[in-house]
Amino acid sequence: MKPVVVRTIDRADAAAVETLGSLGTSSVHEAMGRIGLMKTYMRPAWPGAAIAGTAVTVLAQPGDNWMLHVAVEQCRPGDVLVVACTTDNTDGMFGDLLATSLQARGVRGIVIDAGVRDVASLKAMGFPAWSRAISAKGTVKATLGSVNIPVVCAGALVNPGDAIVADDDGVVVVPAKRAADVAEAGQKRVANEEEKRKRLAAGVLGLDMYNMRPALEAAGLVYVARLEDLDR
């Protein structure tokens, strides 16, 4: 495919994105029907960061951050830069200079299936980053990639404009068209959980609250006093 920069993308609804961010990745992932999660090797460069935004995507070459510079220009306030790589790579493709530039444009964070560096500075700046590695290794600017094409980042399909939710539990992708529905489903789910939390804190067992006992018995679960009592 030709290297290309796509200038016009359809971003997920801004209000829905805000709601998704308030829900957090775990609730959003459940509300999605348990799909859209990136691989668990994606970790925050510094703990406690939590963001939501709309994806500007980059497909980069290993050890080459040329296209990140190109992508900056395509970003708007509220975006999240999502960087996939044509092959597994841990080089430090992203550091505090690029972060300065993104922050100046109102970008909320970066999600990159490669390495980041200048971790202490990123934390001091309050610029969040999720990556597969931390690495001081710098990169060349030699080979083209693309901006705002569909990419697979850490095992998840990301289309430009999709909603990205990221926090200490990982990174979840919500297709732009489903953002409003998922936000609504997630809000119901969280309200419901709050009620459950109170009952569980009061000592009610999940076994009873969820009425699991009949299903467990039907599935064949056996209770014995001691393991020796089991007729295997």
The interface with its own copies within residues 65-104 (CB under 8 A) comprises 66, 69-70, 72-73, 86-92, 95-98, 100-101, 103-104
Residues present in the chain in total: 232
Kindly report the number of other CB atoms within 10 A of residue 2's CB atom: 5
Closest distance of CB 22 from its own copies, Å: 13
Residue 126 engages its own copies in binding (rule: CB under 8 A): no
Q: What is the DSSP letter of 50?
A: -
Among 21, 115, 161, 186, binds its own copies (CB under 8 A): 115
Closer residue to its own copies in complex, CB, 54/148: 148
Per-residue contact track with its own copies, 154 to 193, x per CB under 8 A?
-xxx---------xxxx-x-----x--------------x
Closer residue to its own copies in complex, CB, 14/50: 50
| Distance (Å, whole) CA 129 – CA 42 | 10
Per-residue contact track with its own copies, 2 to 41, x per CB under 8 A?
xxxxxxx---------------xxx-xxx-xxxx-x-xx-
Closer residue to its own copies in complex, CB, 15/86: 86
Closest distance of CB 187 from its own copies, Å: 17
Nearest 10 degrees: CA dihedral of 17, 20, 24, 30? Answer: -140
| Closest CA relative to residue 78, chosen from 28, 26, 17, 129 | 17
Closest distance of CB 194 from its own copies, Å: 10
Closer residue to its own copies in complex, CB, 48/191: 48
Dihedral angle sign, alpha carbons of residues 123, 48, 75, 160? positive
Please enumerate in sequence order all residues whose Cβ is within 8 A of that of 102, keeping only pairs 6 or more positions apart, or say none.
Answer: 72, 75, 81, 110, 127
Q: What is the DSSP letter of 39?
A: P
Tokens for 73, please give them. Answer: 């220009």
Tokens for 129, please give them. Answer: 């980053």
Closest distance of CB 14 from its own copies, Å: 21
